[in-house]
Every structure is written in structure tokens, then in C-alpha cells.
Amino acid sequence: MSDHDTIFRGVFTALVTPFTQDGAKVDVKRLKDNIRVQSVAGVKGVVPCGTTGESPTLSEDEHRLMVETTTELARENDLKVIAGAGANDTKHAIQLHRLALEAGADASLQVNPYYNKPSQAGLYGHFMAIADSCDLPIVLYNIPGRTGVCQSIETIVKLAQHPNIVAIKDATGGLDLVNQTVSRTDLAVLSGDDPLTLPMASIGGQGVISVLSNLLPGRVAAMWHAIEQNEWTKARAIHQELYPIATNLLSLDSNPVPLKAALALEGKDTGTLRLPLAPPSEHVIETLRILLKTSNTKNPEARNVVGQVSS
């Protein structure tokens, strides 16, 4: 097993960006509390400034604040950091990639350029330019539902030959590309969809960048630990337990709208959403309330990980 196999293996929490109630600023205190919660719960690392972190709404200064604050506190709590640094402008993505290096992150997360809809040649050129720009590992992020484009297996295979491109977050919604990536490259494959973490692991996936672990980090970490120990019966039981809330967090509304609502229901308020995201409907909130009640009844020990952390 290579160093990259070890570093990019396990549960990485795609952090929400906590805002003040008026949405004007990043709530740094809440961010630090959230990171401490993740450390206590046993996840491997954290991912600031991704989709879940509402990265398109962050200013340059806020992006830097998120990455630097997260990296500093993660180091104190023995967590790895994969910093979101993607953009649909290659020059901007390179700037954010270098910022991640300067801040001390372990890698940057590089999403497919969105809206531009580049060809496979354009995708290849974009990621190669970033990989050549500085010596920081890259986790590719393939999420066609958000970006409108999907890296083909041929493009992934070519990109995997670059020494700085070491992993891929697969949020394509299926297992076919995962299977091909595992069989044809040495990339560490991380699930980008919580409901698919267990199925991906069964064919060679090495972890997850999880939305759900913001809410139930201990349970997501416990499932991955069971996988690592080849305790598949236990892992399947936790998967089935988490499946309803995992799917609803991603389907009731755009991420992170349901997640922030669920956190608020659990007494872990992370402030407002920023436009163009809007608060969820009452139907969504009531659905989340029912799901959380069921989940917490089954696992009372997982309900208040935050209570273990000093504020």
C-alpha cells in the first residue's frame, strides 16, 4: 500500500461553511467547533470549500479564511485536509490550488469545470495545468449532475499517470466508472455519494467524502471501520440504518439545504444559507425531523457527539 493509499483512505467530512445568522460572515467559532466534533468522532479528515461548503458564494478572503482555519485546527486534531480549490477558470483553479499548498493542506479537491462544458481534451488540459502548477496532491471530482460534464475513463486513465493526481471523488451516481477506475488506475477512489459508500467499498473504493458525517460522524466512521475490519455484516447493518437519511439529505433539496436544516434540528445550527440557496419548505423540515427521530432512537450514543467537545 502506497502513502497515498493510506492518506486518502477512510471518512472525510465535506464541511458546511457556518455563517452568521445574517449571512454576512463566516462563523469561525462554529467552524472550529464543527472540526473538533469530527475529530472526536473518528473521521480521517475534513474537506472545506466544497459543494457542501457553498464554495461558489465565498469571497476570496473567505475562501482563504476557511482553508487556513481548517488546516490549522485539523493539524492540532490529527485530521487530514483536502481543500476545495476547483473553478471553471483554469487560472483561478491554479490560484486556489496554490493557496491550499500555502495553507498546508494535504491535497486539493478539483471539480470538473462547470457551465463551460469542456470536451475531454479540455478536461485533460485543465487538470494537467493544475497538476503541473505546484507539488500538491490532487483529488479529482467527477460530478456530472452539477457540472454538466463527466470525465471519461480514458481521460481518468491519462490523468492518473501524473504523479500529483492521486485520487478521485466519484459522484457519478453508479458503480460502472468506479469499477473501471479501480481496475485500470492506481487512484484512490472515494465515494461522493453517502448511499454508495458501502457498494463502492465492495469493489475497491477506499473511502468517502461524506455529507452525512457532518450530522452523524460517529456512525459513518463506524461503518467504515467495520469495512476495514472485514466485518461486512456489521457494515451492512449500519449502511441500512443510515440509508434513509443519507438519501434524503441529497434528494429533498439541493445540498447543503437539507443538511443545514437537519443540523439546526439537532441543536447544531450553522447559520443561514446564502442566496441563491433558499431555506427548505416545511415539508422538508418535517421529513427531516422524522428521519432524525428514527436515527437517534436507534443510535442514542451517536446523537450528541458535540457534547464531548468543549466549546
Instruction: Encode pLDDT of 144-191 as tens digits.
Output: 999 999 999 999 999 999 999 999 999 999 999 999 999 999 999 999
> Are the C-beta atoms of 168 and 139 separated by less than 8 Å?
yes
Q: Say what the pLDDT of residue 4 is.
A: 56
Cell of 264: 439546526
Q: How confident is the model at residue 293 (pLDDT cuts 50, 70, 90)?
A: confident
Cell of 296: 437517534
Q: Is the pLDDT of residue 53 over 80?
A: yes
Structure pTM? 0.93
Q: Say what the pLDDT of residue 303 is.
A: 41
Q: Is the pLDDT of residue 306 over 70?
A: no
Q: Is the pLDDT of residue 304 over 50?
A: no
Q: How many domains does the chain have?
A: 1
Helical ranges in 119-216 per DSSP H: 120-133, 144-147, 153-159, 176-184, 197-202
From the list 32, 44, 80, 169, the catalytic residue is 169
Give the domain extent around 216: 3-308
From the list 32, 80, 124, 141, the catalytic residue is 141
Q: Say what the pLDDT of residue 7 is.
A: 85
DSSP 22: T
**Rounded CA Rg of the chain:** 18
Q: Is the pLDDT of residue 311 over 70?
A: no
What CATH number did the domain enclosing 268 receive?
3.20.20.70
Q: Look up 169 and say whether it is catalytic.
A: yes
